[in-house]
Amino acid sequence: MYDGTASKEFAMLQKFIEEKCGIELGEEKAYLLESKLARLLAESGASSFEELYLKICSTKDPYLIDSIIEAVTINETFWFRDKTPWYIIEDILLPVLIAELRNGKRDKVRIWSAACSYGQEPYSAAMCIDSYLNRMGAMDAGPEAFEILATDISSDVLQMAEMGNYDNISISRGLDEDYKSGYFKNKGRIWRLDEEIKKRIRFQQLNLIDSYFPYEQYDIVFCRYVLIYFSEKYKKKVIDSITASLKPGGVLFIGSSELFEDYSRYYTMEQYRNGIYYKKKECW
pLDDT, tens digit, for every residue of 226-270? 988 888 899 999 999 999 999 999 999 998 888 888 889 999 999
Residue 1 has pLDDT above 60, yes or no: no
Residue ranges of the chain that CATH labels 1.10.155: 7-72
- pTM, entire model: 0.89
For 250, half-sphere exposure in the C-beta direction (CA atoms, 13 angstrom radius) is 21
Q: Which fold does the domain 84-280 belong to in CATH?
A: Rossmann fold (3.40.50)
Q: Which fold does the domain 7-72 belong to in CATH?
A: Chemotaxis Receptor Methyltransferase Cher; domain 1 (1.10.155)
Q: What pLDDT does 13 receive? A: 80
Residue 183 has pLDDT above 70, yes or no: yes
Q: What pLDDT does 12 receive? A: 81
Residue ranges of the chain that CATH labels 3.40.50.150: 84-280
